[in-house]
Amino acid sequence: MNLLQKIYCRVFQGAFRAALPVLPYREPEILRRVKDIPKVLLRKQIDAVLLVTDQGVRGLGLTQRLEKGLEEVGIRCAVYDKVVANPTIHNIEEARALYLKSGAQAIIAFGGGSAMDCAKVTGARIVKPKKPVHKMKGLLRIRKRLPLLIAVPTTAGTGSETTLAAVITDSGTKHKYPINDFSLIPRYAVLDYHVTLGLPKHITATTGMDALTHAVEAYIGRSTTKETRFMAEQATKLIYENLKKAYDDGKNAEARENMLQAAYCAGIAFSRSYVGYVHAIAHSLGGQYGVPHGLANAVILPYFLEEYGSACQKKLARLARVAGMVPRYTSDRRAAAAFIQWVKDMNKYMEIPETIKEIREEDIPAMAKHAAAEGNPLYPVPVLMDAAELEKMYEKIMEKREGKANADSGNGAKTENVLPKRKTHYIVLSKRSA
């Protein structure tokens, strides 16, 4: 990227950083049990809702108790369960039609990031009937209060239950893009680990690595605050201590609960301090090939951490120390290398590949263009890259061959083990620094 472009990006990011204290960020009210949702609706005198979910989640019976609970108190519930992974504009328009037809007054999002994002933009379309979804792309294009939105994450996860983002795919153009607006932050987030107990291994793995990517990209970026650093550190520590446990034993309630907490904390961190190119590229791969979001992030993350090199070394080292991966006195160079090695080790352990097989050479220029447009000037990444430089990253992610990842991890630091040594640890949200 040339110097003028770099200056433009950094000035733009500086302006947003300066505005951070006055921006209307808020957090959803947290409920710990799905069964408390009907009470909230009754209190608000709502008698009809739209439940937005997907067939996988509904097919497992996860929404059953809620549907029954609503019925018992006389709240009508229309169900839209056709959300696909990488939700589309078509999903949103169908859900919106059902909302209007059923006379719903509130939306319950029940599922992973796909269901939650579909529900968010459905709400946006309800209050902005004349604005098509593609015109909501980018920053602050909604600016209107949504119908009551309650989010129940069933993966841990995207953090969408607390973020101002929704990521939508235009299946016609194969373009996947984020919509960011404060009005998209749900009013309630239901962090009930019971709904995550049956999450299959590979989804536990990839969604957990998505949460880690949120924490890491927010932390190594240049627009952090005391609060977002704290949230990213806590999320990383919780993931270090719990992801492997949740992966090994899905029924481990403590690990599941801590992973939900981690995803939430990481969501707060990146909502205010942004993600980076890992996400920009992951979105392009989701749009072009339907590569699952968490899987793409998990594969891409170590490539960027290595590419950023010394520009993120100090911060990665701090994360490694806070998480307890290395002793406090470990040098920055060794601690950062240990962190990257841990990410690779986790990927390997959880059978996440080292490359994205779907990438085709001829698609790279268009995807890199989309990724650059998403990332620049907004994302305060440690090292700025333009589309041409991002193209080289796609080449690496595509070309890397089995075995190379662990061979070239660099400066000799080793993670002693992947297994976290400490027991689980809970964060008291109210105790965090402001």
Ligand X SMILES: NC(=O)c1ccc[n+]([C@@H]2O[C@H](COP(=O)([O-])OP(=O)(O)OC[C@H]3O[C@@H](n4cnc5c(N)ncnc54)[C@H](O)[C@@H]3O)[C@@H](O)[C@H]2O)c1
Q: Which of 407, 401, 395 is nearest to 354 (CA)?
A: 401
Supply the minimum distance, in Å, between the C-beta of residue 250 and ligand X.
9
Supply the minimum distance, in Å, between the C-beta of residue 374 and ligand X.
12
Supply the minimum distance, in Å, between the C-beta of residue 314 and ligand X.
26
Of the pair 194, 425, the CB lying nearest ligand X is at 194
Q: 189, 264 in Cβ contact below 8 A?
A: yes
Separation between Cα atoms, residue 213 and residue 158, nearest integer Å: 10
30 binds, among ligand X, Fe ion, none (CB under 5 to 8 A by kind): none
Write each residue from 193 to 222 as x if it is in contact with Fe ion (CB under 5 A), else as -, in one continuous string.
-----------------x------------
Provide long-range contacts, Cβ within 8 A and 24+ apart, for 345-348.
345/415, 345/418, 346/209, 346/243, 346/244, 346/418, 347/209, 347/298, 347/299, 347/302, 348/405, 348/406
Supply the minimum distance, in Å, between the C-beta of residue 157 and Fe ion.
9
Separation between Cα atoms, residue 297 and residue 278, nearest integer Å: 6
Instruction: Centre a 10 Å sphere on the Cβ of residue 33 and count the other Cβ atoms it contains.
Output: 11
159 binds, among ligand X, Fe ion, none (CB under 5 to 8 A by kind): ligand X
Q: 350, 201 in Cβ contact below 8 A?
A: yes
Q: 268, 162 in Cβ contact below 8 A?
A: yes
Q: Which residues bind ligand X (CB under 6 A)?
A: 54, 56-57, 60, 62, 85-86, 111-115, 117, 154-155, 157-160, 163, 165-167, 195-196, 198-200, 203, 207, 210, 286, 293-294
Separation between Cα atoms, residue 297 and residue 159, nearest integer Å: 14
91 binds, among ligand X, Fe ion, none (CB under 5 to 8 A by kind): none
CA 315 to chain centre: 20
28 binds, among ligand X, Fe ion, none (CB under 5 to 8 A by kind): none
Residue nearest to Fe ion (CB): 210
257 is a site residue for Fe ion (CB under 5 A): no
Of the pair 210, 241, the CB lying nearest Fe ion is at 210
Supply the minimum distance, in Å, between the C-beta of residue 416 and Fe ion.
29
Of the pair 203, 326, the CB lying nearest Fe ion is at 203
Paired tokens of 248: 């090994």
Supply the minimum distance, in Å, between the C-beta of residue 91 and Fe ion.
18
Binding residues for Fe ion, per CB under 5 A? 210
